[in-house]
Amino acid sequence: MTEKDREDRIRQMGFNVAIDGPAGAGKSTIAKAVAKELNLIYVDTGAMYRAVALYMLREGVDLADREKVIDKCPEAKVTIRYQDGIQVVFLNGEDVNAFLRTEEVGEAASVISPIPQVRRNMVALQKSLAAESDCIMDGRDIGTCVLPDAQLKIYLTASSDVRARRRYDELAAKGESCDFQKIKADIEDRDHRDMHREESPLRQAEDAVVVDTSDMAVEEVIAAVIGLCRSAR
């Protein structure tokens, strides 16, 4: 693609913001708030992978059996609709939003998401959503793979200690039993898988703005990202 072709393609796009970063960095929280403030569509790519993972769990698929996951993948039909600006994920016609945020589903999604056949299906869906609207999209490979021409790319991160503490507090607030050291170990294990997977590993895009949220309040991060969006628009 020539530079002129790339410029023409960008002009035809809506306003797209790509947010990448490791698990627990606050991507979804920040993206939702910014989308609401700036009237953007929020595309939660992680929820799409979680929907596929939910299907595999329901079907009793051994996630360590890569070939079995690949065989079952075409059966998991994931579609997205927006109701009052909220993303609703449908799995084979069923609204599954309420089932996507458990630890079990999150871990399963981390295992299956590196599989190329899974990623290709989801990336195609993500690209089509971005082409249809002004949106903010978060994930692991948005700025590097899904939206390489996004007008703004942000790499949102935080230390593993901070991310584990946030997750611990979130689970404790729900009254769920949890172990801080296990949560931290799980996060670090997920980081390693995400950064070393064969297909579209987690990495910072060369032109991304790094926002380290370790010592920032949520409100401060939201304000910073809104400022970056307004400057890029």
Domain boundary among 85, 108, 133: 133
pLDDT digits (tens, 9 = 90+) for 85-99: 788 999 999 999 999
Percent of the chain surpassing pLDDT 70: 94
Q: Do residue 52 and residue 65 come from a single domain?
A: yes
pLDDT digits (tens, 9 = 90+) for 122-146: 999 899 889 988 999 999 899 999 9
Domain boundary among 69, 101, 133: 133
pLDDT digits (tens, 9 = 90+) for 174-223: 898 889 999 999 999 989 988 988 878 899 999 999 999 999 999 999 99
Question: pLDDT value at position 11?
Answer: 47
Crossing angle, helix 218-232 and helix 27-38, to 10 degrees? 50
Q: Which residues contact 96 (CB under 8 A, 6 or more apart)?
A: 51, 54, 89, 90
Structural domain containing residue 120: 47-133
Q: How far apart (Å, rounded) are the C-alpha atoms in residues 96 and 79?
A: 11
Q: Do residue 140 and residue 233 come from a single domain?
A: yes
Q: Do residue 145 and residue 119 come from a single domain?
A: no
Q: What integer is the mean pLDDT of 155-173?
A: 95
**pLDDT interval class at 10 (50, 70, 90):** very low
Which two tokens mark 96? 């599954």
Domain count, the chain: 2
Q: Do residue 36 and residue 139 come from a single domain?
A: yes
Q: Which amino acid, residue 39?
A: N
Domain boundary among 133, 157, 178: 133
Q: What integer is the mean pLDDT of 34-41?
A: 93
Q: Do residue 168 and residue 206 come from a single domain?
A: yes
